Chain A
């Protein structure tokens, strides 16, 4: 169980840095294959959202140089990113994954989007095969934990979303939103959500501008709005009081000179720009213009954060729940590591017993069923006696972080075959010999241990 996480998120890096790490969806598969092709990395997954770019990985040998990936993939020099990244290993990494999925690591604790985003990242990673065994289990578990946190605590119940903060800010600028128009630049989900909120608060006209007009048309239809070809963007944006931008463009779309033009056309009536894109779509310089208010994702989240007073208690409960789940996962994972060794030890000795029996069989001559049974019982008894101590030691070591050493020693002592990934149901691990116990599912593991104890 060698999990690693490296990344930047809203806690460690400002949006200026995060946007340099962002990996667009289209390039994710490529990045994943680069990641898994690196030395020591068995499995990998990348979550890239506006708040975080995180790389999850599992290594075979306990060594995993994710920083090298950052250097090679992004072409950054260590000085450029070192102060912004965080890294977790082993159980800390597990905990981190659980917390992220449960939205405890979110800037807006309890917001629901992150789970969907992690699920999407997982689906992508599965599709390219970069997640196939233990990391898969970790994430499946993480989703279950997220669900549990959601249902057993109320951190999500009073969720203050980015969208509702956008509405609040728009209210601060325009008062009533009645009769106000909204321009969506990019037809993303966040845009849609924010637009829905604004409409619920009285905004009447919706314009949608998107590079692919079809998507703009589809989104505009939902709001009885108007789809506008992207070429006409700069001419049409001044029509709107509120502009929500969330395109995947690598460069800013709105710069200061555009803002000046907009204000001129609008006779200086104020405009509210909401930039939820990472990398940002709107040049921060626009905010310097009289009458233009620009809020980017960090700004919005800060406002959200300031609203979160009462949710603290629930968050603490959720944290406790996650901690408990991490402990369970750890115990289960370690048992799962021990079980294959126990099983192969058992098989090894059983093979020896059979071989020895077969060897002396001829010399014994004909035996009565009673004698047959006595020999059987005798040999089994010897084996069980021998096995007893190693098995209890192994079992005890399952709770010990140093369990791998004990496993190694036992394997060496009995000359057992090297452990292949225990959950090698995936075709990728063809190296798994037959002796390696097949897919020992975590819940079955304790049962197996018990069996072997007899």
Chain B
């Protein structure tokens, strides 16, 4: 099923229906796995990656229907592909024991963060698009893909809204994570690379929001900042493989 999804992604740029079919299969896959192992299964890296990929694909589809533009696909689909691929080859199939007292909270922690990630990624894509489109407008060349894009300000608004929406989720997710970790491991969790990177990412996004509010940063500066944020976010996600806390081997 995941294989099908991946195929859909690759041809997605030319064939929207393939994406649709891929998404349906992907959705079925996620739901079935959840049905098999219970919702707590979301807490495996594999499932988290898979869900994030699905979420991003859904967001993209909504945007596609809204603005009739498939341009962001060039940026979005490789990521979805990467996420699904990583998820598919991941050997970890270790679910946290369902009896875990924390499972409800952990589920909450993971799902808010996944949503946060998806939103922040969307905002990153928007800021990159903004940058490229602004360049095009300034250089007075209009290539056909820009003509099909929504207006510059709409892209900007979209990124900003995604940021506004994603940030609280991320904050809540991080707070629940910290509380859970505090209870479980004591103060030592702070030193965990995953935690450090997550906090750094959070700080970058806070800066992004702040500069936007106070000085209305957008365009080049904002895009640079968003890229830094995204890079940190990728590291934070990748740190799943390094972190002790997120090995999901604990009880």
Contact = CB atoms under 8 A, between A and B. Distances in A.
Nearest to B155: A175
Interface string A307-343: 0000000000000000000000000000000000000
Interface stretch (B172-180, B202-210, B216-224, B237-245): B216-224
Contacts, number: 53
Interface in B127-168: 134, 137-138, 140, 142, 146-147, 150-154, 156
A179 B113 CA distance: 36
| Majority secondary structure, B binding face | helix
B218 A268 contact: yes
Given A268-B216, A268-B217, A295 B140 contact: yes
Given A175-B153, A175-B154, A268 B138 contact: no
B187 interface: no
A362 B123 CA distance: 115
Nearest to A169: B137
Interface string A171-207: 1111110000000000000000000000000000000
Contacts of B89: none
Contact of A172 (B151, B156, B220): B151
Contact of B219 (A171, A266, A290): A290
A172 B140 contact: no
Nearest to B149: A172
A388 B46 CA distance: 108
A175 B134 contact: no
B142 A303 contact: yes
B216 A302 contact: no
Nearest to A288: B138
Nearest to A296: B140
A41 to B, nearest CB: 40
B197 to A, nearest CB: 29
Nearest to A299: B140
B215 interface: yes
A174 B153 contact: yes
Contacts of A303: 140, 142
A291 B140 CA distance: 14
Contacts of A83: none
Interface residues of B, number: 20
B151 A174 contact: yes
B140 A302 contact: yes
A363 interface: no
Nearest to B140: A299
Q: How large is the interface on A (under 10, 10 to 19, 20 to 34, 35 or more residues)?
A: 20 to 34
Interface centre among B147, B150, B151, B215 (most CB of A within 10 A): B151
Nearest to B221: A290
Contacts of A268: 215-219
Contacts of A290: 134, 218-221
Contacts of B151: 171-176
Contacts of B140: 295, 299, 302-303
Given A173-B137, A287-B138, A306-B142, A266 B216 contact: yes
A101 to B, nearest CB: 29
Interface in A38-83: none
A295 B140 CA distance: 8
A306 to B, nearest CB: 7
A291 B135 CA distance: 10
Given A295-B140, A299-B140, A175 B216 contact: no
Contact of B152 (A173, A176, A295): A173
A267 B154 contact: no
B215 A293 contact: no
Given A287-B138, A290-B221, A270 B153 contact: yes
A35 to B, nearest CB: 36
A180 to B, nearest CB: 10
Given A172-B137, A175-B153, 12 more contacts: A172-B142, A172-B147, A173-B137, A267-B215, A268-B219, A270-B153, A290-B134, A290-B220, A291-B218, A291-B219, A295-B140, A303-B140
9 contacts: A172-B152, A175-B151, A175-B154, A270-B153, A290-B219, A291-B134, A291-B219, A293-B134, A303-B142
Q: Which 6 A-B pairs have the closest CB atoms?
A: A267-B216, A175-B151, A268-B216, A290-B219, A175-B154, A173-B152
